Amino acid sequence: MGEDGTPDDVATAVPPGAAPLPLWSVTLTLAGDAAEEADVRAGLDRLLAQSPFLSSVRYSAGRAELRYWDEAEGPDDAAAMALRLWPEHRASAGLPDWCVVGVEVVDRGTVEHRAAQRARGGWRPQRRARGARSLDVVGDIAPF
């Protein structure tokens, strides 16, 4: 994993002579009626097993935030794939019937810029609840 959280060894299926697709950092936020946190966690564990590319997940009884890197031609394609992730796995992973309330897709350069700004103390992401950890660990699932 790179310093910015980018996977070092992203497996790609690029035909010979074709340029690889760019990587996009995707954050998908979902919210809905509160559910038992243990049930939410169990569903997210199953989702992680079905989608091992997820780099981190934060959740509460009524909200979840998924972060991952995706290959796509552009941010619009990455966003379209993100919007399908939860509904396509809802039944098989036993996920709550929540709606997408936010999608952020940024390129690697933006992630690197934010990391550099954060290192200098010049950029502050939205504050998280006390005790929340960094979102850089691959496959990390933790409460907000």
| Structure confidence by residue, pLDDT tens digits, 108-118 | 999 999 888 88
Q: Which domains does the chain have, with CATH numbers?
A: 23-125 (3.30.70.100)
CB burial of residue 12 (10 Å; 0-12, 13-18, 19+): exposed
pLDDT of residue 46: 96
Q: Which of the four pLDDT bands, split at 50, 70 and 90, describes residue 137?
A: very low
* pLDDT score at 140: 75
> Which is higher by pLDDT, 51 or 25?
25
Mean pLDDT on 102-123: 89
Sign, Cα dihedral of 136, 140, 142, 144:
positive
Quick check: 8 pLDDT over 60?
no
Q: What is the pLDDT of residues 20-50, one digit of tens each?
A: 999 999 999 999 999 999 999 999 999 999 9
